[in-house]
A and B are shown apart, each in its own frame.
Chain A
Amino acid sequence: MSDDPSKTQSKSQSVREPDGKSVVLKICQDHGNRPENLIEILHAVQAHDGYLSDDSLRDIAACLNLTRAEVHGVTSFYHDFRRVPPGKTVVKICLAEACQAVGCDALKEHAVQVLSTDMGTTSSDGGVSLEPVYCLGNCALGPAVMVNGDLHGRVTPEKLDSLVSGADS
């Protein structure tokens, strides 16, 4: 993998700071290189890169003196962590009971159709990731949707369309 020049190029762009120091190593260092901070570190690296690459996980494992299997185990356990880059716009639709009671299933169907993307996948042009979420804590104002981290309530199909096109522009 490392001898693929395009991969090397993208790594140098995404995880190297101008001074040449790896962002991943710096994040681990900021967290004391302590294994109990692994989840915090994964969040921080993902916030920087958008996802967790194989290279990042290898570097994290080395910094924390964990095996790659251990880091993989934690990464794969939590729904938040991505192993592939997300779409430009991330749409999370709450599919839990309180939103079911006010029609989130129809909203989901609409989103899948309009965005041509299945739940849990990213559109082929990399524009939108559509993800299920089980409760955004907006249960009195459902259906609830989160678009690029912003919470929205009482989301109708029309409102979803405008939120997605608004986030796109």
Chain B
Amino acid sequence: MSAVTVFVPKDAAAASVGADDVAVALSQEAQSRGLDINLIRNGSRGLLWLEPLVEVETPSGRVAFGPISVSDISGLFDSGFLSGGDHDLGHGLTEDIPYLANQERLTFARCGVIDPLDLAAYESHGGLVGLKKALELEPSAIVEDVTVSGLRGRGGAGFPAGRKWETVHKESADQKYICCNADEGDSGTFADRMLMEGDPFTLLEGMVIAGRAVGADTGYIYIRSEYPHAIRALNDAVSSFEQANLLGKNILGSGQAFTIHIRVGGGAYICGEESSMLESLEGKRGQVRAKPPIPAISGLFGKPTVVNNVLTLATVPYVLANGGKVYSEYGQGKSRGTQPFQLAGDIARGGLVEKAFGVTLRELVEGFGGGTRSGRPVRTAQVGGPLGAYIPETAFDVPMDYESLADSGAMLGHGGVVVFNESVDMARQARFAMEFCEIESCGKCTPCRIGSVRGKETLDKIIVGEDAEKNLAVLEDLCVLMTDGSLCAMGGLTHMPVTSALKHFPEDFGLARQAAE
């Protein structure tokens, strides 16, 4: 019998619940039984509640088993799992698991499927098609294709990627840069991390394409220090790309040059803000810059710079390979394509769900997510990170796209969904929003630096019932001031969790329901 291929994810989330131990134990058990297995450490499929998810290659496809702990392994072998045999923890064919089968995996097509650092596997699963096409296209045609795709910045702001690229493309300068924002600091988000660990070549390919499109020969990936697994994966991926002549002075003999540098952040949330990230890349305090000028005109070291999120750049190879039009056929309204949503917090089936824009929050939380992990009723979900709104369960039918969420006083952000059960105290969550702003404010502008402190103090007074009406007026005034007067989205959006909590859950603040409405 030839060696059976077995997959055990190397992803940090999988490792956090024992995947590394499972991989070692699997090898040892196979060896002691005299069985030959070909163990591949893949990325995560994003079915995180099933991690560690072990998959076995069979003639009919990959069969999934999970969550597997070391103590399950002997039983797995006994049940003949190497030929797809039945087991209590078996889920049948991975691709048929509804959670995965009901997704539209474009950006994450290879994540969890291949060994992230196996370039041959990358290519045999559709990698490099976009790059090879781009190397034959005029730069302006690449920009045009990205514009047609309708791809918008996945970091949170949702600015059309094609328009940003066009601005940089048209600038004349001796040096331009591509900066990938991998400072994924929002709680409830992990898509960037999963992709960088599970399919880092896609990101690099996207950056090379971006470089050709705008005339940049140097790229930086600014990655947060909290992601050691992803840092290792990216460093290894860059080395592989360099050895394969996919980075360097003459990429695949095309004459195109591009190099990528990995830079590790210092644990500051604000460095996810693009201008703050640029300051940090220059070795400085990560304080935000006033705009204008926008980075597309004066960015890193004062040069025209494309700043895009990991997911934006990682989607570019798909767009080039299949054409912008194909990508734009997903989604609705002005929100084209797919969004990798991340289901987090108190959720039964947490993980990554890549769906076309327009799926409702209820479908995500109840359909995919299966409600809470604790079994208690869902009360609210915070969508879009720490600066996103708390949406009450009664409003979960909102379609998940940029415009629909904005219309309902919320925002998509980076696509994170954090589910809370009925035990959540919304006054505390509102207070935390202000506290988080206080901790993470860069300190440059007064509304954010001081407003967050005053906001926290005022909420403390409201919570203990001290002049609640008066202090509520102060809080509302502060929120307006921070929104209108802050330099960036940190202070400018901190009102969102606060006012949404107040609006939908006034009883948690000791207020009568109508008082806040």
The reply on B345 being an interface residue by CB < 8 A is: yes
Contact, CB under 8 Å: A97 / B267: no
Q: How far is the CB of A165 from chain B (nearest CB, A)?
A: 18
Contact B283 A80 (CB under 8 A): no
Cβ-defined partner of B266 (8 Å) among A77, A96, A134, A144: A77
Instruction: Specify which chain B residues have a CB less than 8 angstroms from the CB of A140 in the assembled complex.
Output: 13, 48-49, 190, 342-344, 347, 350-351
CB contacts (< 8 Å) of B115 on chain A: these are none
Contact A39 B280 (CB under 8 A): yes
Name A113-159 residues within 8 Å CB distance of B: 133-142, 144, 146, 149, 151-154
Q: How far is the CA of A119 from the CA of B202 in the complex (A)?
A: 39
Stretch at the interface among B166-174, B179-187, B315-323, B457-465: B179-187
* CB–CB B285/A73 < 8 A: yes
- In angstroms, Cα B265 to Cα A133, docked, is 14
> A149–B228 contact, CB under 8 A?
yes
- Does B12 contact A138, Cβ atoms closer than 8 Å? yes
Question: Which chain A residue has the least Cβ–Cβ distance from B264?
Answer: A43
Closest Cβ of chain A to B437, distance in Å, is: 11
- Please give, as numbers and ranges, the residues of chain A lying within 8 Å of B226 by CB-CB distance: 133, 135-137, 146
Residues 84 to 110 of chain A near chain B (Cβ within 8 Å):
94, 96-102
Contacts of A167 in B (CB 8 A): none
The contact size tier of chain B is: 35 or more
Q: Nearest residue in B to A155 (C-beta to C-beta)?
A: B16
B residues within 8 A CB of A40?
Answer: 263-264, 283
The 0/1 profile, CB within 8 Å of B marked 1, for residues 49-80 of chain A is: 00000000000000000000000011001111
A98-B188, A98-B345, A98-B418 as given contacts; A139 in contact with B12, CB under 8 Å = no
Does the CB pair B373–A138 fall under 8 Å? Answer: no
Q: In the complex the two chains form, what is the Cα distance from A104 to B233 in whole Å?
A: 29
Q: Which of B48, B264, B429 contacts A141 (CB 8 A)?
A: B48
CB-defined interface of B102-116 with A at 8 Å, one 1/0 digit per residue?
000000000000000
Q: Decide if A36 is an interface residue (CB 8 Å cutoff).
A: yes
How big is chain A's contact interface, by range? 35 or more
Q: Is A38 an interface residue (CB 8 A)?
A: yes
A144 touches B16 (CB 8 A): yes
Q: Which residues of A contact B351 (CB under 8 A)?
A: 140
| C-alpha spacing A116/B286, complex, angstroms | 34
Is there contact, CB below 8 Å, between A80 and B342? no
Question: Of all chain A residues, which has the CB nearest B342?
Answer: A139
CA–CA, A35 and B347, complex, Å: 45
Q: Are B16 and A141 in contact (CB under 8 A)?
A: yes
Q: Are B345 and A139 in contact (CB under 8 A)?
A: yes
Q: In the complex, how many angstroms separate the beta carbon of B417 from the nearest chain A beta carbon?
A: 9
Q: A79-B266, A101-B346, A102-B345 are in contact. Are A134 and B188 (CB under 8 A)?
A: no
Q: Which of A36, A37, A74, A142 contacts B345 (CB 8 A)?
A: A142
- Distance in angstroms between the alpha carbons of A17 and B269 in the assembled complex: 35
Nearest A residue to B281, CB-CB = A36
A60, B442: Cα distance in complex, Å: 24
A152 CA to B436 CA in the complex, in Å?
Answer: 23
B500 — which chain A residues lie within 8 A by C-beta?
Answer: none
- In whole angstroms, how far apart are the Cα atoms of A141 and B374 in the complex? 12
Q: Assess A78 versus B16: contact at CB under 8 Å? Given A96-B386, A137-B226.
A: no
Q: Which residue of A lies closest to B270 (CB)?
A: A77
* Contact A97 B188, beta carbon cutoff 8 Å: yes
Which partner residue on chain A sits nearest B284 by CB separation?
A74
Known A-B contacts A99-B187, A137-B189, A140-B342; the reply to A80 vs B16 at CB < 8 A is no
Residues on the B chain within 8 Å of A149, using CB: 228
A98-B187 contact in complex given A38-B283, A136-B226, A139-B416, C-beta closer than 8 Å? yes
- Given A39-B266, A77-B268, A80-B225, A98:B344 Cβ within 8 A: yes
B35 at the A interface (CB under 8 A):
no
Contacts of B12 in A (CB 8 A): 137-138, 151
Tell me whether B51 is interfacial, beta carbon within 8 Å: yes
Q: Which of B180-223 contact A (CB under 8 A)?
A: 184-190, 193
Contact of B439 among A34, A37, A134, A137 (CB under 8 A): A134
Shortest CB distance B263–A (Å): 7
Instruction: Identify the closest chain B residue to A92 (Cβ).
Output: B226
> Is B419 positioned at the interface, with any CB of A under 8 Å from its CB?
yes
Q: How far is the CB of B188 from chain A (nearest CB, A)?
A: 4
Cβ-closest chain A residue relative to B228: A149
Known contacts A80-B225, A137-B12, A137-B190: A102-B373 contact under CB 8 Å:
yes
Tell me if B137 counts as interface (CB < 8 A to partner A): no
Which of A73, A79, A102 has the largest number of chain B CB atoms within 10 A? A102
Q: How many angstroms from the CA of A50 to the CA of B265 in the assembled complex?
A: 17
Known: A74-B283, A96-B187. A101 touches B342 (CB 8 A): no
Q: Is B7 an interface residue (CB 8 A)?
A: no
Query: In the complex, what residues of B have CB within 8 A of residue A77's CB?
Result: 266, 268, 285-287, 442
Residue in B closest to A76 when the chains form the complex, CB atoms: B285
Q: Does B15 contact A (CB under 8 A)?
A: yes
**B330 in the interface, Cβ–Cβ < 8 Å?**
no
Shortest CB-to-CB span from B377 to chain A, Å, is 13
Residues of A within 8 A of B382 (CB): 97
Is B328 part of the contact surface with A, judged by Cβ < 8 Å? no
Complex contact A78–B346 (CB within 8 A): no
> Is residue B452 contacting chain A, with contact meaning CB distance below 8 A?
no
Task: Indicate if the CB atoms of B418 and A78 lie closer than 8 Å.
Answer: no
User: CB distance A101 to B418 under 8 Å?
Assistant: yes
The smallest C-beta distance from B391 to any residue of chain A, in angstroms, reads 13
6 other A-B residue contacts (CB within 8 Å) besides A134-B436, A134-B439, A153-B13: A39-B266, A39-B280, A43-B266, A97-B188, A133-B267, A139-B350
Q: Chain A residues in contact with chain B, CB under 8 A? A: 34-40, 42-43, 73-74, 77-81, 94, 96-102, 133-142, 144, 146, 149, 151-154
Task: Across the A-B interface, give the 3 residue pairs with the lowest CB-CB distance, nearest first.
Answer: A140-B350, A78-B266, A96-B187
A-B contact pairs, 10 of them (CB 8 A): A43-B266, A74-B283, A77-B286, A97-B187, A98-B188, A98-B344, A101-B344, A101-B418, A140-B342, A153-B13
